[in-house]
Amino acid sequence: MLLAIESSCDETSAAVIHNSVALSNIISSQYFHSKYGGVVPELASRAHLQTISKIISEALSSAGVSFSDIEALAVTSEPGLIGSLVVGSNFGKGLAIKYNLPIVPVNHIEGHIFSGFLRDETPKFPVITLVVSGGHTAIFYVKSYNDYEIVGLTRDDAAGEAFDKIAKLCNLPYPGGPEIDRLAKSGNCKKYNFPRSMINSKDFDFSFSGLKTSVRYFVQKNFPNGIPDDVIPDIAASVQAAIVEVLVTKTINAAKKYKVKTIFIAGGVSANSSLRYEMKQQAEKNNMIALAPEMSYCMDNAAMIGFIAEKKFLENKNKYNALTFTVSSNSLRSSQYKRK
Ligand code: KG4
Ligand code: ZN
């Protein structure tokens, strides 16, 4: 049984994992960043410090266990905001010393990649995983728990970043993704034709900065005095359609190329209702299945960290006794992700 801690950005989370099942998954979101229009790193680390102890106690009590039941700890060590990562990983190291436990450092993206396996019926490898969040947009070809490679990557903004920045242009609160999702439900997605950058490129890479610029010019030209309230749902629906179409097309194409029948979507943007629906529809048409994690496993959460940590730990229990690992902000451009 493992106790996992996640604190890479603005969610403080702790989870207890046993035999690939999350016995608890407590998440505290730092909603106060909304008034600043984005995550303020210094405030994020302070907020993690204030909540982490309570969240860990809650994770243990909600799983009905205590430290004497825990065999190992897991912490997110990269990538993320350095100050935020330091809080979780150092808290974990402190617990490792106090309770004499091994500690498994986990890559946050690896957590997202395998989050689709946190379900009753375990899907079979290989899978194609679209990791799509505020910081990352990438497609992975996943052959096993320790064998995966990146096959596509955004060349500029992440999809979540595009949602957030475009929402800001429309004066919607941060984070913009859920707002656009909500407003799009009453909008016409065919009203405005925003660009689907790189949709026909032969690779599986993405680019979302052009979409953001195109919406900015569109707003400046058509609504120089501010966007009327009744137009916002149509803009939201049209922007969402542009982002979702590119994500779905590239992911399905990757699954075809690698002859994979199972697609996972993961990360904060995988909570998007249109992405979940369209990916399922297109997968079915192509004789594949698309699986999206339940909502608490889409956003940043410790269950996904504990899930992959348990696999690593069971493979070699003696490997995780050192407290010498460090945290790092390395993004997906890092060479650690092998690229085809
Ligand atoms: O995975 P996550 O919680 O944190 C990062 O690692 O970035 O993802 C946060 C991102 C934000 O950009 C947010 O706007 C986006 O996920 N997001 C959504 C939705 N819910 C969260 N984007 C579109 N539709 C949603 N329903
Ligand atoms: Zn994330």
Determine, yes or no, domain membership for 324. Answer: no
CA distances from 304 to 5, 25, 267, 297 (A): 10, 9, 10, 7
CA-based radius of gyration for the chain: 20
User: Exposure pattern of 254-276 as b/e (b: 16+ CB <10 Å)?
Assistant: bbeebebebbbbbbbbbbbebbb
Confidence of residue 310 (pLDDT cuts 50, 70, 90): very high
Ligand positioned closest to the Cα atom of 111? 2
Mean pLDDT score across all residues of the chain: 94
Ligand positioned closest to the Cα atom of 113? 2
Distance between CA atoms of 150 and 176, rounded to whole angstroms?
Answer: 27
Residue 83 Cβ < 6 Å to ligand 1: no
pLDDT of 235: 98
Residue that is last in its domain, among 275, 292, 309: 292
Indicate if 227 and 182 belong to the same structural domain.
Answer: yes
pLDDT of 121: 79
Using the atom order of ligand 1, give the atom closest to the CA of residue 80. 6
Indicate if 129 and 266 belong to the same structural domain.
Answer: yes
Cα of 36 from ligand 1 centre, angstroms: 17
| Residue nearest atom 1 of ligand 1, based on CA coordinates | 268
pLDDT of 339: 52
Residue 293 Cβ < 6 Å to ligand 1: no
Indicate if 106 and 143 belong to the same structural domain.
Answer: no
pLDDT of 308: 97
Residue 299 Cβ < 6 Å to ligand 1: yes
Indicate if 12 and 157 belong to the same structural domain.
Answer: no
Amino acid (1-letter code) at residue 311: K
pLDDT of 38: 87
CB-CB neighbours of 219 under 10 Å = 17
Distance between CA atoms of 127 and 148, rounded to whole angstroms?
Answer: 9
pLDDT of 331: 65
β-sheet with 289-291: strand ranges across: 147-153, 137-144, 127-132, 262-266, 289-291
Indicate if 236 and 315 belong to the same structural domain.
Answer: no
Q: Is the pLDDT of residue 223 over 50?
A: yes
- The answer to whether 195 and 242 are in contact (CB under 8 A) is yes
Indicate if 315 and 172 belong to the same structural domain.
Answer: no
**CA quadruple 183, 188, 193, 199: dihedral, nearest 10:** 70
Confidence of residue 120 (pLDDT cuts 50, 70, 90): confident
Residue bearing tokens 């700890």? 73
Residue 177 Cβ < 6 Å to ligand 1: yes
Average pLDDT rounded to a whole number, residues 216-224: 95
Distance between CA atoms of 110 and 10, rounded to whole angstroms?
Answer: 18
Determine, yes or no, domain membership for 332. Answer: no
| Residue nearest atom 20 of ligand 1, based on CA coordinates | 178
Confidence of residue 334 (pLDDT cuts 50, 70, 90): very low
- The answer to whether 308 and 114 are in contact (CB under 8 A) is yes
Average pLDDT rounded to a whole number, residues 80-98: 97
Residue 79 Cβ < 6 Å to ligand 1: no
pTM of the model: 0.93
pLDDT in tens, 11-39: 999 999 999 999 999 999 999 998 898 89
Residue 278 Cβ < 6 Å to ligand 1: no
